[in-house]
Structure 1
Amino acid sequence: MKINRFSPKILLITVFSLLLVVAWGAASGAAQGPVVQGPPPVVTPEIVPGEIIVKFQPNVGRLGAQNSLQAEGLRPLEISPETGLIRVEVKPGQETQAIAELLARGDVVYATYNYKIYALGNPNDPSYGSQWGLNNAQDHDIDAPEAWDIHTGGSSVTIAVIDTGVDLDHSDLQAKIVAGKDYVNNDSLADDDNGHGTHVAGIAAASGNNGIGIAGVSWGAKVMPLKVLNSAGSGTTADLAEAIVYAADNGAKVINMSLGASCGSGWPDVEEAINYALGKGVLLVAASGNNYSTPVLCPGAINGVVAVGATDSNDARPSYSTYGAALDVAAPGSGIYSTYYGGGYTTMSGTSMASPHVAGLAALLRSYAPGMTSSEVEALIKQTTDDLGSAGWDQYYGYGRINARRALERIALQISPAQPVLFIDDDPGVASSQVRVITPNSEPINWSASISPTVSWLTLSPPISGSVSSTSTNQFITFNATKPQGGYDLYLATLVLTGTTGSGVTVGPIVAQVQLHYVPEVKTLYFPVFFK
């Protein structure tokens, strides 16, 4: 027996505060001067041309705000009844100048672009609608689109798929495959000659929102193909043990094993390999088996491995799904549409399809909160399931069917706007800005913020820590900037957020790029007054 381890009509105005200014006398084009290194570049968001969003100080009032805008030659288009933000018309192409003009006033809290926003929940992959396990009308799914609103998965996490190999040229997988190994043919090209491994890899980590095929649970995770099963789908525990060690030694943070057999008298070589991987902080996931009975097969039954049973589109256990004392959780496994070798797609059923749903979720969590240990990730997955069958743990569903939204919400710590931006010129030579700390978690998260590495031109005003929950409205981080010593340019720094939930789970580190635009002068532009 395995010992379980717990070691409508809506005004969509998104304010990212990307506050760009126009510098007269600065060189044109991208600055090549001093840039303080921050996190990787972010994708530039699209803006609505000819519009900006403005927030005035509370004491100005709505009528006063409208009068102030008209005095500046700007025409208010709409005042949001929910937020009080004002949508303002400007000449297309002059959004940046208008923002700079308004920010020079003393009565404006912020002015920003009106960014185009897109629902992140549903990707544009044409066959996404066939993936009932990610989202369906009956909600017998893992709530993937809701989870993707928080995080879609990062490339910092690699999932080792120990299986029949992976189609190395598949358009939905090719860009994310890292070096692997073929233990069947003793070479480095773990190409799939069966189809099973490709199907598994797509469930966990097919490229999402790329306009092709399907979406994996983690859009960004890398895939390490390790072939231990031949074209007939069979292999040896010796190769399995080697593959586990290879994965642990080569950067995999999650291992998926949609394979198994009876434990017999024990799998000591595989157990040793599993313990080695656990010691390296790897999370291991395996299918429970498809033998219509009990007990759970190995390697899923080995202590330290998350054993996964299957559910169908009715949230029921299919008769084939192996159950027993070693079962940890369940996930969609019947009629699962995914990638297939030869560049295609197909539908397959089994606990082999359930397991990579869990591996993909583990990758989502580990890329969103890299400070979490593998045991914390495992415990979080179990604690946030949708309970099925008997209340609490039972031998047919384990702790329940996984729920990606609930798991991510438990550790979600974010800032709004998502990218802090400040501007500064020679007079007065100082600038400040605020972002709000938010979470969808109803359980409080104790958070702290820092600039790391430190930079001379940017500090945080106290308080730099607090406690935030889904009902909080008063958690803010204040940035204070002074003129950098390097001259007019774009400067970058990194805000680091860390936290701890009330139950002791580590959150983060969450990083955000902070931009400072240092320019010689902010030019005031005047626009004609327009009346409807």
Structure 2
Amino acid sequence: MQNWRWLFLSLMIWGAAAFGQSKISPSLERELDRAATEGGTVKALVLMSDRVDIRALDAQLYEQKVTLQERAYTVITTLQAKAAETQGPVNAFLESRLGTSVMEFQSFWIANMFAVDATPGAIYELSDRLDIRYLTLDSELQLEEVVDSAPASPTSPNGTEPGLLAINAQMMWQAGYTGDGVIVMGVDTGVDANHPALSWKWRGTHVPTNQAWFDPDGGSTFPNDCDSHGSHTVGTMTGLDPATSDTIGVAPGAEWIAAKTICSSSHTSRSIAAFQWAVDPDGNPGTADDMPVGIGNSWWDPDIVSSTQCDPSVNPYIDVVTAVEAAGIAIVFSAGNSGPGSTSITQPKNVNFDLVDFWATGAVDGNSAGFPIASFSSRGPVVSSCSTGNTSLDIKPEASAPGVNVRSAVLSGGYGTKSGTSMACPHVVGALALLRQAHPTRTGRELKLALYQTARDLGTPGEDNDYGMGLIDVWAAHLSLADPLDPERVTNLEAYSDYTTPTSIGLSWEDPTHYAGGDTLLPGSFTVEISRDGSAVASVAGGVQTYTDNGLTDGQTYLYNVVVKDVNDSLSSEVEVSWTAGGAVTPSAPMGL
């Protein structure tokens, strides 16, 4: 009888251990074996069993047609509530072992999970808990290293990089869209915030620095770059030297924020922390004007197991990326530089659950006729374990952008050319900024979808595993989102007042000449509607192009919003500018140019 009892007890212990081990990823298991032999601790990600169905929530928000602010608030507070409701017991377990078998830990709400640095024993204890569904390695992420790099001319006065013209960014600029009022972001090696093409566009010049710069390891409060890779990519998003009008960025009117996570300690948890920060930089879920329209990512994870890569219950990237997108932000990845072989898109963006969610960007030569695909650009399709049988979902990359000999910012205020899909990715983020300014109510996903659906087909006819849908065309994407019957907006809006006109402000602008769909807009068929501080003050006939606002208070600053209205009451998008009656010591720069 005693032997039977001992056998039963042994089976129970063996079963519990087997159950725990089935919840541990192969990559983490290898590190646990190493640590058990050599000593030390292991960094792991601990995924909770109870999680928000973020895809269902996202679909519900689209169905309800909520605003971007309502969307952000709902997603953030729902995720935070789930974490607060379920993480207490695990948090208490980790706290009780802190300093002994647990060296450090961090909780997350962007996905219901923890990052821990603990002994194998503590990690096995965690795996036995019913409120934990899976544990995986907190991997060291790798930078998508550039293929080649060289110094470039220090300035190109009044110059525009060929890659910007290749995606038709100049068409958006001519229509008055430069990304003004929009934020872009990179998760990379940092940014040289003293660079002349970047310093004046850092959002931290006018908001608290912790809302514009995230350095989870170094703890720095002013942007810096450990490699120049991050400066180069952010430069392609929004770079412009105001002293020379040397334009290297797709959206030179946009502001940038950044996270420095791909340097000395580039663990997955650092980038997850950056995504969580990006969703709510000011710590107030009720605001959305602090969030970027898109986040560029040029890194990859070497430790993902392909057989489980498409299972959201074990792959932490799925819930994290889906949550950020549900909040209204577009995630954009580089495809990788492992081409030209098939199925060479790097992890974690070699999967798809939607046409554009894990967007991977291929690289073309924007300096050559026909925009040939770069030989190094990673090719699709998706990893075989994630194949759905749906052709569009299985094809990778999503689309391509210029990524060969791209000139942008490097360290110490210099410029350099680099090649790689890392250079293509920020072209997409910059394009999103232009589109967000033109279509301010659209989510990041909707803007990505417009770029995807309007890309210029290159290579094999139709969508293919080299170019994806083709070369992005931001102007075509804009036209696809605009109502063709809406008038274009005014351009070159300016406001002015000085000591000779202390109680008035003069406005001037250039009238539009076309509708969004391309039809001619005649001066007699529209008016220019002007509001001051939210109240209508004038309706100016087309062709006049000036207005003087009188009866103002000397020294007071006023905000003007201007829209074009045609005879059918169709409206353009708004342009705004502010100025101080009687002039100001430091006048506000006009916006919307």
| TM bucket, shorter chain | 0.5 to 0.7
Offset at residue 128 of structure 1 (A): 6.7
The answer for the alignment partner of 1:247 in structure 2 is 278
Question: 1:338-353, aligned counterparts within 5 Å?
Answer: 338-353=408-423
Offset at residue 494 of structure 1 (A): 3.8
Cα 1:201/1:400, change in 2 over 3 Å? same
Question: 1:56-75, aligned counterparts within 5 Å?
Answer: none
Question: 1:223-238, aligned counterparts within 5 Å?
Answer: 223-230=256-263, 235-238=266-269
Question: 1:270-285, aligned counterparts within 5 Å?
Answer: 270-285=317-332
Matched, 1:334 2:367: no
Partners of 2:197 and 2:409 within 8 A in 1: yes
The answer for the alignment partner of 1:38 in structure 2 is none
Q: CA RMSD in A?
A: 4.5
The answer for the alignment partner of 2:315 in structure 1 is 268
Query: Which of 350, 361, 366 is the matching residue for 2:431?
Result: 361
Report the TM-score when normalising by structure 1. Answer: 0.57
The answer for the alignment partner of 2:111 in structure 1 is none
Offset at residue 355 of structure 1 (A): 0.2
Matching residue's letter, 1:391: P
2-structure distance, mates of 1:509, 1:156: 12
1-structure distance, mates of 2:254, 2:361: 20
2-structure distance, mates of 1:186, 1:434: 45
Matching residue's letter, 1:237: T
2-structure distance, mates of 1:356, 1:285: 8
2-structure distance, mates of 1:479, 1:370: 25
Moved more, 186-195 or 508-517: 508-517
The answer for the alignment partner of 1:162 in structure 2 is 187
Moved more, 332-341 or 440-449: 440-449
Partners of 2:296 and 2:333 within 8 A in 1: yes
Partners of 2:158 and 2:245 within 8 A in 1: no
Offset at residue 295 of structure 1 (A): 4.4
1-structure distance, mates of 2:465, 2:363: 12
The answer for the alignment partner of 2:391 in structure 1 is none
1-structure distance, mates of 2:337, 2:359: 16
Report the TM-score when normalising by structure 2. Answer: 0.52
Secondary structure (helix, strand or coil) at the match of 1:159 reads strand
Offset at residue 489 of structure 1 (A): 12
Matching residue's letter, 1:441: A
Secondary structure (helix, strand or coil) at the match of 1:192 reads coil
1:467-508: CA deviations, max 9, x gaps? Answer: xxxxxxxx9599999997779999967445489xxxxxx973
The answer for the alignment partner of 2:537 in structure 1 is 458
Secondary structure (helix, strand or coil) at the match of 1:133 reads helix
1:20-49: CA deviations, max 9, x gaps? Answer: xxxxxxxxxxxxxxxxxxxxxxxxxxxxxx
Matched, 1:508 2:573: yes
1:55-91: CA deviations, max 9, x gaps? Answer: xxxxxxxxxxxxxxxxxxxxxxxxxxxxxxxxxxxxx
The answer for the alignment partner of 1:287 in structure 2 is 334
Secondary structure (helix, strand or coil) at the match of 1:134 reads helix
Secondary structure (helix, strand or coil) at the match of 1:352 reads helix
Secondary structure (helix, strand or coil) at the match of 1:198 reads helix
1-structure distance, mates of 2:229, 2:335: 16
Question: 1:19-168, aligned counterparts within 5 Å?
Answer: 126=156, 131-135=161-165, 141-151=166-176, 153-168=178-193
Cα 1:222/1:330, change in 2 over 3 Å? same
Question: 1:164-183, aligned counterparts within 5 Å?
Answer: 164-177=189-202, 178=204, 179-183=212-216
2-structure distance, mates of 1:476, 1:396: 48
2-structure distance, mates of 1:272, 1:442: 38
Secondary structure (helix, strand or coil) at the match of 2:257 reads strand
1-structure distance, mates of 2:549, 2:426: 50
Offset at residue 143 of structure 1 (A): 2.7
Cα 1:255/1:445, change in 2 over 3 Å? farther
Offset at residue 405 of structure 1 (A): 3.4
Partners of 2:407 and 2:417 within 8 A in 1: yes
Matching residue's letter, 1:167: D
2-structure distance, mates of 1:434, 1:206: 26
Offset at residue 216 of structure 1 (A): 1.0
2-structure distance, mates of 1:213, 1:317: 27
Cα 1:419/1:156, change in 2 over 3 Å? closer
Matching residue's letter, 2:318: E
The answer for the alignment partner of 1:322 in structure 2 is 378
The answer for the alignment partner of 2:248 in structure 1 is 215
Matching residue's letter, 1:458: V
Secondary structure (helix, strand or coil) at the match of 1:342 reads helix
Percent sequence identity is: 25
The answer for the alignment partner of 1:89 in structure 2 is none
Offset at residue 395 of structure 1 (A): 1.8
1-structure distance, mates of 2:407, 2:199: 18
Cα 1:355/1:445, change in 2 over 3 Å? farther
Matching residue's letter, 1:309: G
More strand by share: 1
Partners of 2:172 and 2:474 within 8 A in 1: yes
Matching residue's letter, 1:296: I
Matching residue's letter, 1:253: V
1-structure distance, mates of 2:195, 2:220: 20
Structure 2: gaps spanning 5 or more residues: 1-54, 63-153, 205-211, 282-290, 381-394, 497-507, 566-570, 583-593
Offset at residue 180 of structure 1 (A): 0.9
Structure 1: gaps spanning 5 or more residues: 8-123, 136-140, 422-432, 462-474, 500-505, 518-532
The answer for the alignment partner of 1:258 in structure 2 is 298
Matched, 1:202 2:232: no
2-structure distance, mates of 1:332, 1:515: 42
Matched, 1:387 2:443: no
1-structure distance, mates of 2:363, 2:548: 57
Matching residue's letter, 1:348: K
Secondary structure (helix, strand or coil) at the match of 2:397 reads coil
1-structure distance, mates of 2:434, 2:549: 39
The answer for the alignment partner of 2:447 in structure 1 is 377
Higher relative contact order, chain-length normalized (CA < 8 Å, sep 6+): 1
Partners of 1:492 and 1:514 within 8 A in 2: yes
Cα 1:172/1:268, change in 2 over 3 Å? same
Offset at residue 510 of structure 1 (A): 4.2
Offset at residue 333 of structure 1 (A): 0.5
Matching residue's letter, 2:466: Y
The answer for the alignment partner of 1:298 in structure 2 is 347
1:330-354: CA deviations, max 9, x gaps? Answer: 0010111111123222111110000
Offset at residue 386 of structure 1 (A): 1.9
1-structure distance, mates of 2:320, 2:295: 12
Offset at residue 252 of structure 1 (A): 2.0
Cα 1:147/1:515, change in 2 over 3 Å? same
Moved more, 346-355 or 142-151: 142-151
2-structure distance, mates of 1:214, 1:481: 32
Partners of 2:363 and 2:400 within 8 A in 1: yes
Partners of 1:340 and 1:346 within 8 A in 2: yes
Aligned length: 365
Secondary structure (helix, strand or coil) at the match of 2:163 reads coil
